[in-house]
Amino acid sequence: MKTFLHVGDIGCLQTALAEAREIKADRYKYEHLGHHRTALLIFFNNSLRTRLSTQKAARNLGLDVIVLDVNQGAWKLETERGVIMDGDKSEHLLEAIPVMASYCDLIGVRTFAGLTDREADYSERILGQFIRYSGKPVFSMESATAHPLQAFADLITIEEHRDKKRPKVVLTWAPHPRALPQAVPNSFAEWMRAADVDLVVTHPEGYELDPLFVGDARVEYDQMRAFEGADFVYAKNWSCPGVTRPADYGQVINRDMSWTVGSRQMAVTNDAHFMHCLPVRRNMIVTDDVIEGPRSLVIPEAANREISATVVLKRILEGLQ
Ligand code: CP
């Protein structure tokens, strides 16, 4: 595997899930694969889970790990071509990428959407430059439009907790005080469509996700109706994707607190499990009682980030042999 951004990069999901089970039973089974290899993890944005779980996954595979927080301790990087660099950015990404790549065998990149220019975000400009100019395998640790390591961990978690062949999985928008990217809901929708689940997406009007990710999944604007009979509820905020109203791209266009997931909505589900990628704003996205309740999976879901990352890095290392 040379790049990891979309669900198609991982191939057969059943095979990937079987590998996840194998690795969960013996995390160090493939420790030899990373011997004398180095993973570089580059963060343009903050992270707790991705930072720790990807490092742990790399070490499970015997890799050396270098972590770089761009703009904190390194030179500030310019990412746009043609800019007269007379500001506070001392180095251009186009020099920095090949230099960084010379010290490693594979590269993970976290680079969030700017949320001002839909075309720039949806063309994955920064991740694309790493793919084009590094000459090394590149995997997303959440990029402008996708968070595949999270979606793979979410799928592993659903596989572990489902009690029917084709569970009903509801992806619900919930309110948040700040504008957030669409990467997590995009990837969640993409991966659930590829898996054997009954996916329903619910959000206020104007929050329609890009068809590239959501495809022909059922969209229900009535949150209570969407929740009826759900086996899994996946809550997430996202800013306006600009699909129906391009001028609103990246904006907070709804603050309706009735969308906060609480016992009222969970009561109409099939005793659904609650999921969220974390970090989560309590009593904005979800009430205390639901996230702390017996059906909440947020902790095992986060723990599965180590497993999804180990499978992905293993696949990349196998491609280097
Ligand atoms: N879910 C997730 O990616 O968490 P972090 O932003 O803390 O890495």
* Structure confidence at residue 321 as a pLDDT band (50, 70, 90): low
Backbone angles phi, psi at 282, to 5 degrees: -65, 145
Q: What is the pLDDT of residue 72?
A: 85
Q: What is the pLDDT of residue 306?
A: 98
Contact partners, residue 206, CB within 8 Å, separation at least 6? 240, 244, 245, 248, 253, 254
Average predicted confidence (pLDDT) for the chain: 97
Q: Could you give the CA distance from residue 90 to residue 78 in angstroms, rounded to a whole number?
A: 7
* Structure confidence at residue 16 as a pLDDT band (50, 70, 90): very high
Locate 101 and state its tokens.
Answer: 């790549």
Check if 142 has its Cβ closer than 6 Å to any atom of ligand 1. Answer: yes
Contact partners, residue 314, CB within 8 Å, separation at least 6? 19, 23, 30, 33, 61
pLDDT tens for 204-263 read 999 999 999 999 999 999 999 999 999 999 999 999 999 999 999 999 999 999 999 999
* Ligand 1 pocket: which of 54, 56, 277, 280 to mutate (most atoms within 8 A of CB): 277
- Determine if the peptide bond prior to 181 is cis (ω within 30°): no
User: Residue 253 in contact with residue 291, Cβ under 8 Å?
Assistant: no
Q: What is the pLDDT of residue 60?
A: 98
Check if 50 has its Cβ closer than 6 Å to any atom of ligand 1. Answer: yes
Q: What is the pLDDT of residue 73?
A: 83
pLDDT tens for 152-181 read 999 999 999 999 999 999 999 999 999 999
Name the residue among 57, 53, 133 with its Cα closest to residue 99. 133
Locate 142 and state its tokens.
Answer: 């959440």
In this structure, the residue with its CA closest to atom 6 of ligand 1 is: 47
Q: What is the pLDDT of residue 303?
A: 98
pLDDT tens for 40-91 read 999 999 999 999 999 999 999 999 999 999 978 889 999 999 999 999 999 9
Cα 313 to averaged position of ligand 1 atoms, centre (Å): 18
First to last CA, the chain: 11
Check if 16 has its Cβ closer than 6 Å to any atom of ligand 1. Answer: no
Q: What is the pLDDT of residue 14?
A: 98
